[in-house]
A and B are shown apart, each in its own frame.
Chain A
Amino acid sequence: MGLRPNIRVLRDMKARQGVLDNEVTRRAYLFVARNQNLPPQVRHQAQLQLNTFGRYTRPTTVKNRCYASGRGRGIMSEFGLCRYQFRLKALSGLLNGVKKASW
């Protein structure tokens, strides 16, 4: 959890945990649903089962958030920070090797 967890950060954490727990099951159903060699009825059933999964199990609900401010936009994956927090930390010298560019 970051320095300023807001509700969206908590929701994202819940989603990440749910995805982790259900990944194997989801992948199994997905394999059946996408498999061309299986009969269509079986594939259809698998797809219906996939649709029953809740939102905290789908990998698409996972979103990178700034660990310092909780912002959802302008995130740089390499640092896990939003652009403003990145700038603040970089200017303070808290990011390894990052300095003001000049050329």
Chain B
Amino acid sequence: MYAPVSDTQGGFDPALFLQKDSMTQPPELAESGDDLFEFQQELPPISPLPSGLDPRQLPVKINSISDLGPNPTEEAYASALVHGRSIHLPFLHPRTHSIPAGSITFYSHHPKLLALFTHFASHAASSLAIPISKVIMLPTERSLWTVIRAPFAYKKSQENFERKTHKRMIKAWDADPEVIDRWVKYLEKHSMGGVGIRVTKWERLPIGIGKTRLARVKEAFKVPVLDGVSSADAKLLEVRQEGDSDANRKQAIQALGEKILKEELRSSKEARSSAAAGTGTSGKPSTAQGSPSNSSAANKQDEGDVKAKVVSNKEIKPKSVPGKK
């Protein structure tokens, strides 16, 4: 039997322990809400939401999404309390400019998988605020095979097999290409077995993109001009690389004209210098050496004379080249 301990050397008195105090008794329940607060707080005035809904009336309890009306705002849709919320269609954001941004086509052999995945995809797009269409039903493709049942003979008893490919489509407008990419990446991450997707995207590029790209590509393909090549030849090469066109032909003629002019001037200079050299040297070695030197000198002189003659016949002035200013 238990005997009460009289001495308090252990520091434990059961009587004290069993005493009733605030710790052991339940608290007094407040009778009304006013007792909970010592003072009444002045609440700020509640302004209605931009859509016109009163926050104190939210959430709006409705029986189905169609109770919201033909064109509900996103706020009204989001604040509505309806049974089976996740199975309803997502809020379709209104298109701002109706500019196509992309479209996703879903393929499957089983329509129920498609229903689930398209529902998921449309909710994802709605969360990203991409204006999308409702799920579009595309015509089903069907392949049929008729095979003989038996492995050998018995042509008259056959069996039909088919494979149906069901297709759905969701179109998207107006969103940035980055947002569309994100949506697609999200779908790829959470893709479903048995459903394939095909994404078509439209991107907009600035006006004049063709010219800038062409110029860039041409630069990349240009053959670098070597050091030994003269500037006229280099220009000709450059012009030839660009191909055939009216403007190019003009440039080609100009370049060719410049080249001919340069060559002519050079040849005329050479002729003059050789003529001068020929007249200078022909007098000295004529007596000293035999016929070869004489002949060579004579040849040189003849050449010089011929060149001089040729030079004199030709006009030293530059020819008028068509297309040159």
Measured CB to CB, the residues of A under 8 A from B are 74, 76, 78, 83-84, 86-87, 90, 95-102
Contacts and interface: CB of A to CB of B under 8 A. Distances in A.
Category for how many chain B residues contact A: 10 to 19
Contacts, number: 42
B151 A98 contact: no
Contact of B159 (A95, A97, A100): A100
Contact of A87 (B144, B147, B162): B147
A5 B144 CA distance: 29
A96 B109 contact: yes
Contacts of A95: 163
Contacts of A87: 147, 149, 159, 161
Given A98-B163, A101-B144, 6 more contacts: A74-B147, A87-B159, A90-B161, A97-B163, A98-B145, A101-B162
Given A84-B151, A87-B159, A90-B161, A97 B145 contact: no
A57 B152 CA distance: 33
Contacts of B185: none
Main secondary structure of the interface of B (DSSP, over half): strand
Contacts of B160: 100-102
B61 interface: no
Interface in B124-170: 143-145, 147-151, 159-165
Interface of B: 109-110, 143-145, 147-151, 159-165
Contacts of B109: 96-97
A83 B148 CA distance: 7
Contacts of A83: 147-148
22 contacts: A74-B148, A76-B145, A78-B143, A83-B147, A84-B148, A84-B150, A86-B145, A86-B147, A86-B161, A87-B149, A87-B159, A90-B161, A95-B163, A96-B163, A97-B109, A97-B163, A97-B164, A98-B162, A98-B163, A100-B159, A100-B160, A100-B161
A97 B144 CA distance: 12
A87 B160 CA distance: 9
Nearest to A84: B151
Contacts of B144: 101
B198 to A, nearest CB: 17
A76 B144 CA distance: 12
A101 B160 CA distance: 5
A98 B144 CA distance: 9
A102 B109 CA distance: 16
A102 to B, nearest CB: 8
B147 A97 contact: no
Contacts of A84: 147-148, 150-151
Contacts of B151: 84
B165 A98 contact: no
A84 B157 CA distance: 13
A102 B163 CA distance: 11
Please name the 8 residue pairs, one residue from A and one from B, whose CB atoms are nearest each other, closest first: A97-B109, A101-B162, A101-B160, A83-B147, A84-B151, A97-B163, A98-B163, A87-B147
Contacts of B164: 97
